[in-house]
Amino acid sequence: MIKRFAPAAILLALVVSAAPVFAQDPPSSVTPGTKQFRKSVVASGLAGPWEMTWGPDNMLWVTERTGKRITRVNPANGQKTVAITIPEVSAPGGQDGLLGMALHPDLLRNSGDRNSGNDYVYIGYTYVDEAKGAHADVPDPRSPYRFLYTKIVRLTYDKSTGTLTKPLDLITGMPAGNDHQSGRVKIGPDRKLYYTIGDQGNNQLGNFCRAVESQRLPTQQEIAAKNYAAYVGKSLRLNLDGSIPSDNPKLNGVISHVYTYGHRNMQGIDFGPDGTLYASEHGPKTDDEVNILTAGSNYGWPNVAGKRDNNAYEYARWAEASTPCSQLSFSDLAIHPSVPREPESAFTKPFVEPIATMFTVPTGYNFHDPACKGVDFICWPTVGTSGVEYYRAKTGKGIPGWDKVLLVTTLKRGSLYVLPLSKDGKSAAGHFSRYFHSDNRFRDTAISPDGMTIYIATDPGGMAEAMAGGTTRSMQDPGAILAFTYEGEGGPATTPVTSKAAPAVPAGQTPVTASTTGALPQFTAAQSAAGKTAYNANCAVCHGNTMMNGTFGPPLAGEYFKTTWSGKTVGEFHEKAKTMPPAAPASLSGETYANVVAYILETNGYKPGNAALSAASDALNKLTIR
């Protein structure tokens, strides 16, 4: 199938290919930031702050992904006011729920005594729609993803009550899944809505037997039937009523909502003042990307990660393996010989290369860093780009030297990366500099009107690179809004670090220490086999299919598991398992939890026997993990 491209898109691809060499940097190219900031905590206790923007009322408007609400936060004192709670939001995993939000440019804008009539807020979220039918690739009737879809909704703001009301569905039934949801919303200078949908995490982890469809374009029949399955791995452009703009690009002979394609997980988009649309996107093991999106353009995924350079990435098509994929075990580090693979240079179609990568390494790079103790993805060159924001200091206003830069928040590195842009804003003009390094996962930014304070929203939990080395699940500022106020120039910028003392043991209690007493865990092979099926259906998306390659949950095998659970009872581990999945704790049967525990134990070297693992606490507490 031949895809048509506008000449301008092809020209841009050639221009980007000629960008300076620092557009493709190794991790060592990052420079320490030299500007000095004062840190303060504006608010905490937020349930997954995801989108944050400065509103015309001088409040920070925040979506709470798992809280299912939009909250307005006073940046002066941290006071929180809930504008709306949306029970329809469904957030069963780590990347779904209430996601992007955009405020109408005319929100709270008056002309004389008259309101603009456009006091609208646009949001994207995942929801359950049984009437639309089940996803064919989710056969488990108990899966919370079986009927999960995405919609974009318009809300109306009532200034007198400070609340959002009158929800109006603009588009429903768009794809949703357990990984790579993306979900960023922006309104462009053309008064169109822009929305991102990821590739659903296919071809990896628990979804490795599902093909990536980022290159597939919708057919006219699909659009007529409002079947949006082909919208995965795309950016969309919509009219403010959800309809398809007549001037959207025609791709493969079809005009749809699709604006660009060939994406993996584009969690950040933002417009420059001249209408340039910037995007940040997660890479696989290398090459997180910073892109410029142009109508109708292809961005290469899954055939290319970063530039088409054959560096440390091959496209492995697991779903097409000659050995049935269901019989294989996915690995990030070793591709099974029955899986077809191809180098990036095999992809010959026109596509737009990124203006910068985070970060590129040569083939042969060691992706197994012992510092991460089996949690390899944290130590990979990628940083986990989330939000991106265009920043420009104006004369006498703003942060000096940041005349035209992009601010990129990162999840794995708990840092803000700053990328200088060329005068025309179309390419990188230097290396990344790094600020605010902390034991956090930075999700999104907002800027004060004077340009002097950068607000950063943090995840409430997850895995990140520890400042002391290795990995951490202990967030320094969980579920918070932080303010970093510029104070001047200096040497390498420092980030305040809060030391955490070990919690005191309450009076009358004995400290818990590792135990070497108790019988070894006992379970049957049948339990472990059933547990593997349940684990892959409910746990692999967060913890990884090998239990050591998940991108959200902690490892459940290897040194990390041994260090965390050695000396504790199987009963304690079973009780922890019952707190999962995060959005629906204790939702599985007692037998299923016991089976999952059995499978995890066998993965960690315990041998099955004739005695079944009981789901009763008393019996489990007599068994010790060693």
256 and 171 together in one domain: yes
Lowest mean pLDDT segment, chosen from 127-141, 278-292, 375-389, 548-562: 548-562
Burial class (CB in 10 A: 0-12, 13-18, 19+), 353: buried
31-40, 373-382, 465-474 — most confident range: 31-40
163 and 304 together in one domain: yes
Q: Is residue 562 part of a domain?
A: yes
**164 φ, ψ to 5°?**
-105, 130
Q: Is residue 561 part of a domain?
A: yes
Here the CATH number for the domain that contains residue 165 is 2.120.10.30
Q: Is residue 502 part of a domain?
A: no
Lowest mean pLDDT segment, chosen from 4-8, 25-29, 620-624: 4-8
414 and 476 together in one domain: yes
481 and 541 together in one domain: no
The tens digit of pLDDT for each residue in 319-332 reads 999 999 989 999 88
Which domain does 283 fall in, by range? 7-489
Which of the following is catalytic: 180, 257, 437, 574?
180
Here the CATH number for the domain that contains residue 616 is 1.10.760.10
Q: Is residue 161 part of a domain?
A: yes
Domain boundary among the residues 442, 467, 489 is at 489
Q: Is residue 513 part of a domain?
A: no
Comparing 94 with 388, which gets the higher pLDDT?
Answer: 388
Comparing 568 with 407, which gets the higher pLDDT?
Answer: 407
Supply the pLDDT for residue 132.
Answer: 94
- The mean pLDDT of the chain is 88
195 and 279 together in one domain: yes
Q: Is residue 494 part of a domain?
A: no
Is 614 a residue whose pLDDT tops 90?
no
304 and 411 together in one domain: yes
Lowest mean pLDDT segment, chosen from 241-250, 268-277, 490-499, 570-579: 490-499
Supply the pLDDT for residue 42.
Answer: 98
Q: Is residue 497 part of a domain?
A: no
137 and 221 together in one domain: yes
Domain boundary among the residues 470, 489, 508 is at 489
How many angstroms separate the CA atoms of 290 and 65, rounded? Answer: 24
> 224-256 burial by CB neighbour count: b if 16+ within 10 A, else e?
eeeebebbbbbbbbbebebebbeebbebeebbb
530 and 484 together in one domain: no
What is the rounded average pLDDT of the residues 343-361? 96
477 and 560 together in one domain: no
> 486-504 burial by CB neighbour count: b if 16+ within 10 A, else e?
beeeeeebebeeeeeeeee
388 and 460 together in one domain: yes
Supply the pLDDT for residue 114.
Answer: 62
Is 380 a residue whose pLDDT tops 80?
yes
Is 501 a residue whose pLDDT tops 50?
no
Domain count of the fold of the chain: 2
Q: Is residue 510 part of a domain?
A: no
Supply the pLDDT for residue 26.
Answer: 86
193 and 336 together in one domain: yes
Query: In angstroms, what is the C-alpha Rg of the chain?
Result: 24
Domain boundary among the residues 489, 513, 547 is at 489
The tens digit of pLDDT for each residue in 585-607 reads 788 888 889 989 999 998 888 99
595 and 474 together in one domain: no
Comparing 13 with 614, which gets the higher pLDDT?
Answer: 614
Is 478 a residue whose pLDDT tops 70?
yes
The tens digit of pLDDT for each residue in 512-521 reads 344 456 788 8
Please say if 431 is a catalytic residue: no
What is the rounded average pLDDT of the residues 435-458? 97
